[in-house]
Amino acid sequence: MPNNSIFNNSRLKLAFTYAGVMGSTLLICGCMAHIIMVQAFTRTVDRELEVFGKVFEDKLKTELKIPGELSITTQKSLPGICFKQQPCLPIKSESELLGLLAEGYYLRFLTLSGEVIAAIGNNPDEFPPNLQIHHSYDIQNRNGELYHLHLMPLKIKGNQLWGYLQVGRSIQRLNDYMNSLHWLLGLGVPFSMILIGGAGWWLAGLAMRPIEKSYQQLQKFTADAAHELRTPITSLQTIVETNSINPETQKALERQIKRLVILTQDLLLLSRVESGLQEAKLQEICLNDLVADVEEELMPVAMNAQVLLSSNIPIESYLYIQGNEGQIYRMLLNLVSNAIKYTPESGEVIINLTTNDHQGLITIKDTGIGIPTSDIPHIFNRFYRVHADRSRHTGGSGLGLAIALAIVQNHKGKLEVQSDVNNGSTFTVILPLFSKVNS
């Protein structure tokens, strides 16, 4: 069965994207609705309190004489008035207007500096003084009930400012309602995101099904093509070996056949690694031994190229990973042979094996020709060559780095590269360790 991890990851990302976009949209809409509702309610309450205060203002306009002082006649015309540090008596008036004060409304007089003078039907110190002269604000009374207060200027004859009339109304019910809305948003948005995420997962699966099918067909085509190429290549080899052909022509044919054989093997390996067809039973792999084997195998190649090949392998500890030993060996073989190919004579290739935070690090550092910065993002693509004119000389198929990357990713690792033109390159393989046993 082909490995569907690529499609599952893409499907998961799409589902998260759907859920994130819809959740953000719901949250933004909820916040906007909250702001609009609060602003609309505040404007409505302010207008209501403005009307409520205007009635008292008209009633008091002819009785207010001295700024900041309530005369005896004014006090008599306002039943239930209560001054600071005085007991407040209940309102005994049949006036519907004054009756509102017992139903969640509030009214008090302030000086020009915002100090409290008196209140009607309530304690004047129910709220702190309005020393900052705020005209509209929300505040809690001594019992923790939320009120909205509105400030109105009171003027006497000559348009002189007497002080302020502060009217208010309990908005605790609105506050409770808004708290319920907050709970609804707090619980509803995550629940909606879960539902949308599930729907997004299902829809992404439907949308990606043709893509997945095409990808599987492409993988199958690559594997079939590599398999079918074996037969004509074998036939060509037989013909070349059994028939008398001009020696130069025979060498050219043998060279091209060899390249076809390598290309076929690389294509087949890459197809199997990427599709998961070559996933074998996991085994413990000692990186110390593997690096030493790769060095030993490529030492003659390095000597022929007059390149110094060496390694630094820890002797005090052995580093183990879990995976396919053949694939890891092939990956290291590709990286080290590449380093040798692109390192001039008298150059050097060093393999370092270290550990860092439960990870095994294998670095292949060379003093070769390097890779231009613009080419680094593309070097792991199939058939991509930085130096196309050197392909014949090196004999590469352009699949070595693509195979190396596929193998590293298949083992849940990372492959990083740093390079400087004319100063060499460093490839770093990072693999999760299975265990580290001291010798």
Tell me whether residue 51 is in a domain: yes
Please, are residues 262 and 293 in contact by the beta-carbon 8 Å criterion? no
Q: Are residues 301 and 155 in the same domain?
A: no
pLDDT at 252: 66
Give the end of a domain, one of 177, 202, 233: 177
147 with 296, same domain: the answer is no
CATH number for 18: 3.30.450
Q: What is the Cα–Cα distance from 214 to 219, expressed in whole angstroms?
A: 9
CB 329 within 8 Å of CB 280: no
∠ CA 238-244-247, nearest 5°, is 100
The pLDDT of residue 439 is above 50: no
CA 291 to chain CA centroid, Å, is 37
The confidence score (pLDDT) of residue 418 equals 93
Q: Mean pLDDT, the chain, as a whole number?
A: 79
Is a pLDDT exceeding 70 seen at residue 41?
Answer: yes
Please report whether residue 363 resides in a domain: yes
Higher pLDDT, residue 29 or 209: 29
266 pLDDT higher than 90: no
pLDDT tens readout for residues 269-290: 666 666 665 555 678 899 999 9
Dihedral of the CA atoms 264, 269, 270, 275 (nearest 10)?
A: 130
**Counts for the chain of helices (H) and strands (E), in that order:** 9, 14
Q: What is the pLDDT of residues 388-418, one digit of tens each?
A: 544 444 555 667 788 888 889 888 899 999 9
Query: Of 126, 152, 177, which residue is a domain's last?
Result: 177
pLDDT digits (tens, 9 = 90+) for 161-217: 888 988 888 888 877 877 887 787 778 778 887 888 888 788 777 777 777 666 665
Q: In terms of Cα–Cα distance, which of 331, 326, 329 is closest to 282?
A: 326
Last-in-domain residue among 135, 151, 177: 177
Residue 1 pLDDT level (bands cut at 50, 70, 90): very low
| pLDDT score of 383 more than 70 | no
Domain assignment present for residue 364? The answer is yes
Kindly state whether residues 171 and 285 are assigned to the same domain. no
Pair (25, 171) in one structural domain: yes
Taking residues 153-167, report their average pLDDT.
85
Domain-embedded: residue 36? yes
* Same domain for 171 and 26: yes
Residue 196 domain-assigned (yes or no) = no
Assess whether 430 and 309 both reside in one domain. Answer: yes
Query: 111 or 182: which carries more pLDDT confidence?
Result: 111
Residue 149 lies in a domain: yes
Domain residues for the domain of 57 are 6-177
Residue 351 lies in a domain: yes
Is the distance from CB of 189 to CB of 26 less than 8 angstroms? yes
* Predicted TM-score of the model (pTM): 0.48
Q: Across residues 309-338, what is the average pLDDT?
A: 90
Are 144 and 290 part of one and the same domain? no
pLDDT score recorded for residue 235 = 66
pLDDT category, 301, cuts 50, 70, 90? very high
Q: CATH number for the domain including 416?
A: 3.30.565.10
Q: Is residue 225 part of a domain?
A: no
Q: What is the mean pLDDT of residues 77-94?
A: 69
Q: How many domains does the chain have?
A: 2
Do 157 and 297 belong to one domain? Answer: no
Assign 298 a pLDDT band (cuts: 50, 70, 90): very high
Contact 386, 373 (CB under 8 A): no
Cβ neighbours of residue 416 under 8 Å, at least 6 residues apart? 427, 428, 430
